[in-house]
Amino acid sequence: MSDTVADRFLGGRLVLRQPVHGYRAGADALLLAAAVEAAPRLMEAGCGAGAALLAAALRCPEAQLVGVEREAAMAVLARENVVANGFADRVTIAEGDALANGPTFDGVFCNPPYAETGEGSAPHGARVHAHVTEATLDRWIAALSNRLSGAGALTLIHRAERLDRILAALDGRLGDVTVLPVRPRADAPAHRVLVRARKGSRAPMKILRGLDLHDDSDAKFTSEAEAIFRGEEAIAW
C-alpha cells in the first residue's frame, strides 16, 4: 500500500506499516494485546493493519491467530505486515465481517470503534471505519460471544464511559467478568477499560485496581506501563 509509514512497537521487535493519513494504532492496541489470554486458537475482530494481532502473536508463541478485517486495503496491509514480521506460519488475515457467523476460537479479542453512527462528529476518509461503527456494542458482544468455544475468553478495550453498556451486553452471555480501569495518571479518572469475560462461567464480576499510564508529571510512563508497552510484561488479570 502506498502512503504508509513504518512504526516500531514493543521495543522495536514489531515493525508495522500503517497508513500515513488513515487510522494508526497505538497504546490501545498494545494494551489489548497485553491483556489477551494465551490459547491455541485466537481471533481478533477488526484487526486493521495488525498491531494488536501481531503483538499478541509475539506474546503467545504457541498460538495460531486469525485477524478479520472488512476494509480490503487494510486487509492487504495486514497481510504484508504478517509476512514482514515473520508470522506467515501462524497468523492469517481474513477479509470480511467479523460479526458474521463463522468458526469458533479459544479466545477472541477486539477494540471496537468507540462511536456508533450518528454520535458526535465523524472523522473523515480512511479513519471513519476505525472510529465509527453501524453496529451497537450489544451486537459486537453478542456476535463475538458466539465465536467462542469451550471456556474461551472475550477480551476488549473501550472507553470507560461505555462500561455500563458493555456489562449490560455481557449479562446472560458470558461470566467471570473482570474489569481493569486504565487511567492517564493515578489522580485522574479512568479513560479506558479493559474487560475480559468467559464463556460458560458464572463467577462473579471483579473490578481490579487498574493501570496508571503516566507518573504525576505526565512526562513519562510508569514502570508498569513501560514494561507493557515494551512487551516485557502482560496485563496482570
Domain boundaries of the chain, sorted by first residue: 4-229
Name which of 120, 116, 159 is nearest 138 in CA terms. Answer: 116
The whole-number pLDDT of residue 131 equals 42
The CATH homologous superfamily of the domain defined by 4-229: Vaccinia Virus protein VP39 (3.40.50.150)
From CA 52, how far away is CA 33, in angstroms rounded? 5
Taking only the tens place, the pLDDT of each residue in 115-137 is: 765 555 444 554 444 445 688 99
Over residues 206-217, mean pLDDT: 93
Q: What is the pLDDT of residues 34-57, one digit of tens each?
A: 999 999 999 999 999 999 999 999
Closest CA to 91 of 69, 110, 116, 63: 63
CA 148 to centroid of chain Cα atoms: 16
Residue 23's pLDDT band (cuts 50, 70, 90): confident
Assess contact for 53 and 78: CB atoms under 8 A.
yes
Length of the chain as a residue count:
237
